[in-house]
Amino acid sequence: MRHPRIIIAGIGLAAVAAVGGVTAASAGGSAASSTPSVSPTAAAVTVRTAPATVAGRTETILVNAHGHPLYFYRPDTAARSFVTGSLAQLWPPVTSAAPTAAGASGRLAVLNDVNGHQVTYNGHPLYTFAGDHAGQVTGQGIQNFFVATPGLTPLSPSSAPGSAPAAPSGGLGY
Evaluate if residue 19 carries a pLDDT over 60: no
Calpha distance 107→47 (Å, rounded): 11
Calpha distance 102→113 (Å, rounded): 24
Calpha distance 29→32 (Å, rounded): 9
**pLDDT tens per residue across span 133-169:** 888 899 999 999 999 999 999 997 765 444 444 444 3
Evaluate if residue 53 carries a pLDDT over 70: yes
**pLDDT tens per residue across span 54-110:** 989 999 999 999 999 999 999 999 999 999 999 999 999 999 999 999 989 999 999
Give the pLDDT score at 172: 42
Query: DSSP per residue over 58-112, as a string?
Result: EEEEEE-TTS-B-EEETT-BTTB----HHHHHHSPBPB-SS-EEES--S-EEEEE
| Contact (Cβ atoms closer than 8 angstroms) between residue 84 and residue 114 | yes
| Contact (Cβ atoms closer than 8 angstroms) between residue 100 and residue 45 | yes
Note the helical H segments in the chain.
Answer: 4-18, 85-90
Give me the half-sphere count of Cα atoms (radius 13 Å) on the Cβ side of residue 44.
11
Calpha distance 153→146 (Å, rounded): 12
Calpha distance 121→26 (Å, rounded): 40
